[in-house]
């Protein structure tokens, strides 16, 4: 176990230490390789426990896009108008999707094909995320190394390789944008810090390209383009301006913005939306500062003072004029009111929305027009915005659980001990504070804020927390081992009088071996090496220290050091155990296949695919399937059928229409669906087997979203005394709604007349009823998916004319329902 090679990166280079230097690099290389393997393999639990399959919802869309790309090529991909979703509107995929992930996987597939490795597109997609998480941990190593040296880098890399928060988004099969984006994010930050440290234009250019990749991959790129300007500003304000800062920033803004504008989904947003304004503002500021420094260099101090006063006074006047003009322009244009927007940056709700748009998530359609009331003053506008959002758009975003603010347990679940190590890391970053470490601190602070807004953004926090914790652990080990070594050298000195001339390495290696044996259980392989390195550093410094017979300030008593070392290792052990558990148990389920352990072994619930396979083989190719939007992506990808709404919730009205239909009584719902050419209605029902995230549990959101657009759907009609229930106390509106009927149709016959719902743990309220306008065509084995067909219209009986209703326009149909007022009484 003992690793005799020392990882020495210190300056003096006698032959032996050059060799050590080389050994250290080789060791670091192999450790990184192992970290990569660890990052990859810890994410394979899902494949081993389940199968190599695409997970969840969004990955199915990405998978479908990748299939299209590999089949039809890049040009067709850019021009792809998808008529299989959002019927009858369709969706322009090429212009609305972040292509980074798709292009990456497509490229990998192509390269493998050209190497005669016949992997299927699906396999490539499944394993993209684990591969990129290995890259991400390497990127974290590079970034932390720039900040605090190799040891901290390796610690941060190993922490990132198995941080549960990141695992949750990058297990094999989780083929989502975040899979590659986190790598791109960290790598961009690394290149920024690298440029900052070196002042090399080469790295600055690479930085822009990395930023471009990030823009391609994920809407979260706005985080970068706001964080880096903030850091630049911070540096300027704290008097840390240097030409390196200029080189790190100016090319990024120019090149990065140009490149970002090339991505169709971003396009002119790269210069026109408020998310990017900060970068331009700071771009101007840094030039002004650069000019000031330049002039300062030319002029004598006194002259400079005079010039500064002059410029500042003139500048203030000009600024006032510009601000006045700007305000006037803003006030005159109703849609580009960025006063409201900039304010909204501080509003968590609004922020969540901004992110959700950035992340290609539920985005209400006419947000812009609604968002810009004509500036009646900040306060009122703010309230107006909030009110509009609360009433109109919150439901659709709030209905997604990952858009809720996180709870404290989720911090512990996703970060575990990192949450406690982060403060220590911050302290370590302050001693001494460099440009790089201030950047990392800023990154951490900002990501903590964002993760507090939306649980999903915990993902952005995770790398920051890993870097901080890596620094903290590394520093802690540094201190502890240094104290131990100091003690040992003192000890040996007292034993032999002429110990001062002995080779330090000889002195140190036995205790270091002891130490390693102590922490044999420690899985983090780089720790011993880092420890050694620190020891070496200490050794080199020691002669001088010793000659002065001065104690270093940070030397702890040896017992305390050993104890603290033991505790730290224990902490790391807990982290590893927790991470492996999270990877194996919590985050490995693909969510399209469910398993349960019962006394007679494993039971598999494969109902979703059963239903999708049935749809794909036993319905016409052009049939339209209506379901709640959660299942849209899966239906198009697995069943290859046209859906009305899907997880790209860009059109609130359309979703509200489906929600209204689900909340309406059968007849009205039939009319809505018929007007949308729907042939099949798919509902997910968990009452038989106890699957909690079914449509009945989501039903209130359908009511809310539907009611937000079609006011005749009122939430209180579905609640009895504010309680959502489906038992005999439920309201008649609830019991007559289409969703209730489709879910519980003939359910009562399964358990001999009781109709006990295992999710709601109650007997259902209305047991025996018939469907008049719908017909059950398929129900899966465990009843989890039920598919109904719209019955054709009945032949009209002569002489019996019905009151004619407009069936062409679905927007009026629900209204006519209101006129009728409770047809079911």
Q: How far apart are CA 258 and CA 267, in angstroms?
A: 9
Stretch in the footprint of other proteins (CB under 8 A) among 18-26, 111-119, 661-669, 797-805? 111-119
Stretch in the footprint of other proteins (CB under 8 A) among 348-356, 511-519, 777-785, 812-820? 777-785
Name which position in 277, 280, 614, 756 contacts other proteins (CB under 8 A).
614
Min dist. Cβ of residue 77 to other proteins (A): 21
Interaction of residue 783 with other proteins, rule CB under 8 A: yes
Q: How far is CA 186 from the centre of its chain?
A: 13
* Closer of 247 and 678 to other proteins (Cβ): 678
Interaction of residue 625 with other proteins, rule CB under 8 A: no
* Closer of 239 and 601 to other proteins (Cβ): 601
Q: How far apart are CA 297 and CA 304, in angstroms?
A: 9
| Maximum CA extent, the chain | 121
List the beta bridge partners of residue 428: none
Q: How far apart are CA 278 and CA 757, in angstroms?
A: 53
Min dist. Cβ of residue 640 to other proteins (A): 10
For residues 697 to 736, the per-residue mask of contacts with other proteins, x marking binding by CB under 8 A and - elsewhere, is: ----------------------------------------
Name which position in 2, 48, 89, 117 contacts other proteins (CB under 8 A).
117
Interaction of residue 617 with other proteins, rule CB under 8 A: yes
Min dist. Cβ of residue 120 to other proteins (A): 10
* Closer of 85 and 451 to other proteins (Cβ): 85
* Closer of 203 and 612 to other proteins (Cβ): 612
* Contact set for other proteins, span 324-343 (CB under 8 A): none
Spatial contact of 781 and 805, defined as CB atoms under 8 Å apart: no
Min dist. Cβ of residue 679 to other proteins (A): 14
* Contact set for other proteins, span 447-486 (CB under 8 A): none
In order of 98, 216, 261, 264, the CA distances from 268 in angstroms are 15, 14, 6, 9
* Closer of 72 and 750 to other proteins (Cβ): 750
Tokens 């050091």 -> residue:
561
* Closer of 296 and 609 to other proteins (Cβ): 609
Per-residue DSSP letter, 774:
E
Min dist. Cβ of residue 590 to other proteins (A): 9
Min dist. Cβ of residue 118 to other proteins (A): 7
Q: How far apart are CA 775 and CA 13, in angstroms?
A: 83
* Closer of 116 and 506 to other proteins (Cβ): 116
* Closer of 481 and 635 to other proteins (Cβ): 635
Q: How far apart are CA 272 and CA 269, in angstroms?
A: 5
Name which position in 30, 283, 724, 778 contacts other proteins (CB under 8 A).
778
Beta strands 678-684 and 785-790 are antiparallel
Spatial contact of 763 and 728, defined as CB atoms under 8 Å apart: yes
Of 170, 169, 177, which Cα lies nearest the Cα of 65? 177
For residues 571 to 610, the per-residue mask of contacts with other proteins, x marking binding by CB under 8 A and - elsewhere, is: ---------------------xx----------x-x--xx
Stretch in the footprint of other proteins (CB under 8 A) among 113-121, 390-398, 463-471, 800-808? 113-121
Name which position in 613, 623, 667, 732 contacts other proteins (CB under 8 A).
613
In DSSP notation, 452-515 reads HH-GGGHHHHHHHHHHHHHHHHHHHHHHHHHHHHHHHHHHHHHHSGGGGGS-HHHHHHHHHHHH
Stretch in the footprint of other proteins (CB under 8 A) among 139-147, 218-226, 399-407, 771-779? 771-779
Q: How far apart are CA 260 and CA 214, in angstroms?
A: 9
Taken in order 485, 488, 494, 497, is the CA torsion positive or negative? negative
Stretch in the footprint of other proteins (CB under 8 A) among 156-164, 309-317, 363-371, 774-782? 774-782
* Closer of 60 and 203 to other proteins (Cβ): 60
Q: How far apart are CA 126 and CA 62, in angstroms?
A: 11
Give the DSSP H or E segment for 791: none
Interaction of residue 779 with other proteins, rule CB under 8 A: yes
Interaction of residue 756 with other proteins, rule CB under 8 A: no
Q: What are phi and psi of 598, to 5 degrees?
A: -125, -175
* Closer of 379 and 794 to other proteins (Cβ): 794
Using CB under 8 A, count the residues that bind other proteins.
30
Spatial contact of 98 and 218, defined as CB atoms under 8 Å apart: yes
* Contact set for other proteins, span 46-65 (CB under 8 A): 51, 53
Stretch in the footprint of other proteins (CB under 8 A) among 4-12, 199-207, 434-442, 773-781? 773-781
Min dist. Cβ of residue 693 to other proteins (A): 20
Name which position in 618, 729, 812, 822 contacts other proteins (CB under 8 A).
618
Stretch in the footprint of other proteins (CB under 8 A) among 242-250, 276-284, 408-416, 742-750? 742-750
Interaction of residue 291 with other proteins, rule CB under 8 A: no
Name which position in 380, 775, 812, 823 contacts other proteins (CB under 8 A).
775
* Closer of 720 and 789 to other proteins (Cβ): 789
Min dist. Cβ of residue 434 to other proteins (A): 50
Interaction of residue 258 with other proteins, rule CB under 8 A: no
Burial of 670 (0-12, 13-18, 19+ CB in 10 A): buried
Q: What is the dihedral of CA 793, 794, 798, 804, to 10 degrees?
A: -40
Taken in order 351, 356, 359, 360, is the CA torsion positive or negative? negative
Tokens 């771009």 -> residue:
283
Interaction of residue 45 with other proteins, rule CB under 8 A: no
Min dist. Cβ of residue 123 to other proteins (A): 12
List the beta bridge partners of residue 594: 605
* Closer of 8 and 66 to other proteins (Cβ): 66
Q: How far apart are CA 496 and CA 481, in angstroms?
A: 22
* Closer of 559 and 749 to other proteins (Cβ): 749
Interaction of residue 749 with other proteins, rule CB under 8 A: yes
Of 359, 3, 411, which Cα lies nearest the Cα of 185? 359
Q: How far apart are CA 404 and CA 453, in angstroms?
A: 7
Q: How far apart are CA 492 and CA 555, in angstroms?
A: 17
Name which position in 520, 761, 781, 805 contacts other proteins (CB under 8 A).
781
Q: Which residues contact 457 (CB under 8 A, 6 or more apart)?
A: 355, 447, 450, 451
Centre a 10 Å sphere on the Cβ of residue 230 and count the other Cβ atoms it contains: 17
* Contact set for other proteins, span 402-431 (CB under 8 A): none
Q: How far apart are CA 621 and CA 426, in angstroms?
A: 58
The residue ranges that bind other proteins (CB under 8 A) are 51, 53, 116-118, 592-593, 604, 606, 609-610, 612-614, 617-618, 638, 746-747, 749-750, 775-781, 783, 789
């Amino acid at each position: 176990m003992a690793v005799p090679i020392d990882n020495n990166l210190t300056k003096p280079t006698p032959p032996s230490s050059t060799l050590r230097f080389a050994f250290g690099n080789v060791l670091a290389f192999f450790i990184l390789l192992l970290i990569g393997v660890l990052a990859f393999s810890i994410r394979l639990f899902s494949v081993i426990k389940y199968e190599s399959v695409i997970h969840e919802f969004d990955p199915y869309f990405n998978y479908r896009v990748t299939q299209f790309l590999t089949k039809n090529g890049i040009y067709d991909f850019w021009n792809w108008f998808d008529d299989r979703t959002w019927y009858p509107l369709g969706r322009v995929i090429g212009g609305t999707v972040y292509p980074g992930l798709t292009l990456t996987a497509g490229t990998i597939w192509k390269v493998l094909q050209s190497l005669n490795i016949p992997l299927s597109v699906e396999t490539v997609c499944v394993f993209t995320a684990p591969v990129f998480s290995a890259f991400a941990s390497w990127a974290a190593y590079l970034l932390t190394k720039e900040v605090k040296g190799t040891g901290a880098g390796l610690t941060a890399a190993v922490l990132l390789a198995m941080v549960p928060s990141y695992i949750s988004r990058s297990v094999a099969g989780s083929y989502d944008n975040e899979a590659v984006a986190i790598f791109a994010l960290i790598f961009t930050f690394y290149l920024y810090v690298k440029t900052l440290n070196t002042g090399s234009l080469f790295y600055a250019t690479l930085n822009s390209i990395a930023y471009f990749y990030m823009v391609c991959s994920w809407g979260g790129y706005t985080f970068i383009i706001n964080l880096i300007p903030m850091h630049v500003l911070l540096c300027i304000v704290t008097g840390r301006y240097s030409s390196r800062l200029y080189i790190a920033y100016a090319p990024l803004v120019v090149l990065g913005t140009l490149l970002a504008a090339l991505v169709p989904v971003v396009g002119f947003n790269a210069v026109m939306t408020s998310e990017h304004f900060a970068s331009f503002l700071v771009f101007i500021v840094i030039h002004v500062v650069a000019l000031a420094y330049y002039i300062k260099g030319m002029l004598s101090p006194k002259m400079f003072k005079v010039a500064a006063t002059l410029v500042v006074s003139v500048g203030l006047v000009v600024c006032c004029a510009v601000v006045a003009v700007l305000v006037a322009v803003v006030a005159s244009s109703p849609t580009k009111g960025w006063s409201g927007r900039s304010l909204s940056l501080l509003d968590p709700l609004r922020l969540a929305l901004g992110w959700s748009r950035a992340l290609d998530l539920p985005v209400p359609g006419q947000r812009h027009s609604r968002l810009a009331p004509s500036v009646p003053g900040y306060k009122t506008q703010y309230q107006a915005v909030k009110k509009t959002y609360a009433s109109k758009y919150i439901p659709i975003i709030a209905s997604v659980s990952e858009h809720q603010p996180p709870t404290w347990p989720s911090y512990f679940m996703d970060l575990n001990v990192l949450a406690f190590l982060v403060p220590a890391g911050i302290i370590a970053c302050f001693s001494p504070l460099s440009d790089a470490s201030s950047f990392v601190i800023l990154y951490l602070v900002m990501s903590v804020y964002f993760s507090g807004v939306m649980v999903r953004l915990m993902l952005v926090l995770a790398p920051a927390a890993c870097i901080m914790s890596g620094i903290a652990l590394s520093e802690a080990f540094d201190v502890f081992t240094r104290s131990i070594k100091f003690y040992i050298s003192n000890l040996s000195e007292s034993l032999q009088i002429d110990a001062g001339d002995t080779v330090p390495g000889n002195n140190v290696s036995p205790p270091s071996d002891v130490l390693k044996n102590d922490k044999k259980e420690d899985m983090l392989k780089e720790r011993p090496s880092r420890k050694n390195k620190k020891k070496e550093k200490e050794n080199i410094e020691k002669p001088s220290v010793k000659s002065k017979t001065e104690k270093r300030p940070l030397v702890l008593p040896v017992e305390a050091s050993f104890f603290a070392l033991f505790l730290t290792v224990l902490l790391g052990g807990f982290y590893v155990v927790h991470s492996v558990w999270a990877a194996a148990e919590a985050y490995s389920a693909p969510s399209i296949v469910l398993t349960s352990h019962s006394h007679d072994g494993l039971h598999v619930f494969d109902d979703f695919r059963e239903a999708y396979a049935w749809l794909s083989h036993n319905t016409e190719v052009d049939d339209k399937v209506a379901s709640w939007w959660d299942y849209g992506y899966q239906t198009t990808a697995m069943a290859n059928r046209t859906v009305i709404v899907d997880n790209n919730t860009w059109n609130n009205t359309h979703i509200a229409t489906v929600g209204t239909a689900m909340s309406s009584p059968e007849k009205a719902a039939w009319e809505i669906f018929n007007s949308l050419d729907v042939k099949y209605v798919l509902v997910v029902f968990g009452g038989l087997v106890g699957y909690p995230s079914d449509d009945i549990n989501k039903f209130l959101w359908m009511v809310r979203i539907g009611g937000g657009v079609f006011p005749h759907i009122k939430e209180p009609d579905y609640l009895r005394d504010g309680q959502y229930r489906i038992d005999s106390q439920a309201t008649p509106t609830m019991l007559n709604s289409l969703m209730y009927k489709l879910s519980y149709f003939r359910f009562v016959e399964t358990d001999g007349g009781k109709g006990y719902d295992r999710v709601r743990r109650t007997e259902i309220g209305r047991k025996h009823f018939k469907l008049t306008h719908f017909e059950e065509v398929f129900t899966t084995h465990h009843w989890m998916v039920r598919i109904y067909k719209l019955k054709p219209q009945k032949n009209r009986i002569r002489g019996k004319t019905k009151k004619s209703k407009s069936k062409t326009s679905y927007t009026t149909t629900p209204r006519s329902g209101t006129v009728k007022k409770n047809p079911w009484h």
